[in-house]
Structure 1
Amino acid sequence: MENNKTLYTSFTKLALKVAMSKGITLKKAKEIVIQKFELHPFEKMIVGLIDSKKLIRKDVDSLLKDCISVCEDFGPDRDYVTLIIVLERIDKIKATKKGTDTISARILLTFKNQIDNINTKIDAPPLFNALLETRSAIEWVTMFGIYPFIPKHKASKNKPVLLMPPYLGNDVSTTFVRNYLKSVGFKTYKWELGVNMINSKYLPKLIEKLDEIFEKHQEKVSLVGWSGGGIFAKIIANRYPDKVEQLITIGSPVWGVKNMKTPLVRMLEFLRGKTLRARNDKFIHELEEIPNVPVTCIYTKTDGLLPWKHCMEAETLRSDIKNIEVFGSHCGMGANASVLLTVANSLNKNITGKEPKGIITKVESLFFPKFWEQKGVSKFTNLFFN
């Protein structure tokens, strides 16, 4: 929260000054900026920061420079897109003073360009992580023994879920995830398009399949995509939010793909015979957009194939966007008990609005990094006593 406070202190100064550049008073600017942060996860903190602001003496360019400097210090982050959206909303306000519209437009463009530059500096996974990918063989083999003991929280019966496999994978890759979702009450569907080569030609067939499932159930369909499958799932969710219940990605690059540094991209370029930059621009642009449906992104910081920051969506944009970290390799995510639990629980929570409860769910938290990030022994006593 300290990091967020530093960033938002700097940004709210900039946002207020940009709003004031439209010719409005500080009081009115405060009202407008607070309104633009409505439903933001840090709304209370931001309102407090804005209310405490006095007349800002610095000019708008100096404040922009200060804010960019803070972003550079914190490094690449998908959540900066939330700040861009706030500036876009302020830019749309009608100016009360002639000749002031260009100021907000210029600040917005400069801020976007600077953030784009910062976000290109995400490093490729370290060699150590790549070497750790060999453990995926152990994860797949041991899952056969672990699978019967994974807790099963019953979900809403027969809710449709369409699953999409990873790059170079097929429907066999999603076997454990599909079987687990079936066992807790979901109706699962394969993608049935053979090996996933991440080609935009799959989209028309996937959209047809979505339509078929939608018509059959007469209700929205949840999409689950692992790695490259999550790319297709996100684009479809962006195009057809009226037919998509929610989106869940598993180790999927959901933004910044054009500049992503990974050996996987080199393999993809070799097999396709062209660079990633030369691919379908529309396809890549659609991937940057955030669908208007609940989103859950599952990622692992020990991913050896993809930079994990590319696998997280902007949690600060809406309360129905969640990033959940798990332990494990990229190639083993389809046979990871934590992934299976997260997919099923997220699907059910987003449909029913309820989280699973009971002692078993508390014990399950032991298998997630979020539990171990807590300090002190109280994290263990809190499992059983609140």
Structure 2
Amino acid sequence: MATKASLLGQPLAAWADSEFARRVALARQPAAAQIQPPRKRHLLGETIYLIEPLLRPFRRLKVKPASQPRIVMILPGFATHPSRMRYLARQLERAGHKTKRWGLGFNLGPTENNIDVLERRLEEIHARYGQPVVMLGWSLGGLFARELAHRRPELVAKVITMGSPFSGDPRANNAWRLYQFVTGHAVDNPPVDRPVAMKPPVETVALWSPRDGIVAPRSARGKPGERDRAIALRCRHMGFSYTDEAILTVLAELERPAN
């Protein structure tokens, strides 16, 4: 005779199977032929990040003291943990800035709930330090940063995105299938209140790279009406979180007075 637990487990297992199948179907959706993700050689170049932590003890990055220390909220990329941006955060702190984590652990995509949680986190940081917060978002983290700046522009000093796919076709990258499987929603239908290409009502700076192996450069660069400025770097997509070039560019942006 079946137990109560096993009877309860049957519907749960059936739901899990159907949900898994739905997500697999999302991941297998065809991409339009005209969409151009980054080239495979650039994607292969991203693997260098695997050995990057081993090289850190030999790096000697020189940073200048900040003339006006900022409060910086750091938002990680898709499927990454804030610890992947800890090296960058330490360099900002060496310059005198105060960095704050987003408080959600791994970035597994946007939901209505976690965006609300981040909005409260932004409110708390602003209330604690009494000044507008710089939103620094890597890849998908940059889309969170832009959405939060739309919601609470009075709390945000500026938005800096790093390789974030906010422009053009959302499938113009090499991670959209994984994104759809993990999040359970289509990459072109995220649970946000407005189009991701809409520029926030604060200064918005897009860092992008022609060597990006994950996000198409045009998507991360954006068009003039979608951001205020775009700055080209030469790093890989993963390199936005640790290369000297990316870190020094972010430090320069923090020194630049907001428009």
**Pair 1:145–1:209, CA change in 2 (3 A):** same
Structure 2 CA distance, aligned partners of 1:123 and 1:238?
Answer: 29
Q: Is the 8 A contact 2:36 2:216 kept in 1?
A: yes
| Counterpart selection for 2:99 from 188, 193, 196 | 188
Structure 2 CA distance, aligned partners of 1:133 and 1:256?
Answer: 22
Instruction: Tell me whether 1:314 sits opposite 2:223 in the alignment.
Output: yes
Mapping 1:110-259, distance limit 5 Å: 121-146=34-59, 149-200=60-111, 201-256=113-168, 258=170
Residue 366 of structure 1 corresponds to none
| Counterpart selection for 1:323 from 207, 211, 230 | 230
| Counterpart selection for 1:295 from 195, 199, 204 | 204
Corresponding residue SS for 2:238:
coil
Structure 2 CA distance, aligned partners of 1:249 and 1:334?
Answer: 11
**Pair 1:226–1:217, CA change in 2 (3 A):** same
* Cα deviation, residue 278, structure 1: 4.8
**Pair 1:269–1:220, CA change in 2 (3 A):** same
Structural RMSD (CA):
2.2
TM-score by length of 1: 0.55
What is the letter of the counterpart of residue 196 of structure 2?
A: L
Give ranges in structure 1 of 5+ residues lacking alignment: 1-119, 354-386
Residue 178 of structure 2 corresponds to 267
Q: Is the 8 A contact 1:168 1:195 kept in 2?
A: yes
Q: Any idea what the Cα deviations from partners look like across 1:222-262, whole Å, max 9, x if unmatched?
A: 1000111111001111222211000101111122354x222
Corresponding residue SS for 2:153:
coil
Structure 1 CA distance, aligned partners of 2:61 and 2:38?
Answer: 30
**Pair 1:144–1:292, CA change in 2 (3 A):** farther
* Cα deviation, residue 277, structure 1: 3.9
Residue 304 of structure 1 corresponds to 213
**Pair 1:350–1:121, CA change in 2 (3 A):** farther
Structure 1 CA distance, aligned partners of 2:121 and 2:169?
Answer: 25
Corresponding residue SS for 1:276:
coil
**Pair 1:279–1:230, CA change in 2 (3 A):** closer
Structure 2 CA distance, aligned partners of 1:278 and 1:293?
Answer: 24
What is the letter of the counterpart of residue 178 of structure 2?
A: M
* Cα deviation, residue 306, structure 1: 1.0
Q: Any idea what the Cα deviations from partners look like across 1:182-219, whole Å, max 9, x if unmatched?
A: 11111110112111011223211111111111111221
What is the letter of the counterpart of residue 229 of structure 1?
A: G
Q: More strand by proportion, 1 or 2?
A: 2
Give ranges in structure 2 of 5+ residues lacking alignment: 1-32
Structure 2 CA distance, aligned partners of 1:141 and 1:332?
Answer: 14
Corresponding residue SS for 1:287:
coil
Instruction: Tell me whether 1:344 sits opposite 2:251 in the alignment.
Output: yes
What is the letter of the counterpart of residue 38 of structure 2?
A: P
Instruction: Tell me whether 1:335 sits opposite 2:246 in the alignment.
Output: no
What is the letter of the counterpart of residue 85 of structure 2?
A: T
Structure 1 CA distance, aligned partners of 2:57 and 2:162?
Answer: 20
Corresponding residue SS for 1:288:
coil
Structure 2 CA distance, aligned partners of 1:278 and 1:213?
Answer: 29
What is the letter of the counterpart of residue 330 of structure 1?
A: H
Q: Is the 8 A contact 2:205 2:229 kept in 1?
A: yes
Structure with greater contact order relative to length (CA < 8 Å, sep ≥ 6): 2
User: How many percent of aligned residue pairs carry the same amino acid?
Assistant: 24
What is the letter of the counterpart of residue 333 of structure 1?
A: F
TM-score by length of 2: 0.80
Structure 2 CA distance, aligned partners of 1:218 and 1:304?
Answer: 39
Query: Considering only CA atoms, is the larger Rg found in Structure 1 or Structure 2?
Result: 1
* Cα deviation, residue 153, structure 1: 2.0
Q: Any idea what the Cα deviations from partners look like across 1:45-75, whole Å, max 9, x if unmatched?
A: xxxxxxxxxxxxxxxxxxxxxxxxxxxxxxx
What is the letter of the counterpart of residue 50 of structure 2?
A: A
* Cα deviation, residue 294, structure 1: 1.6
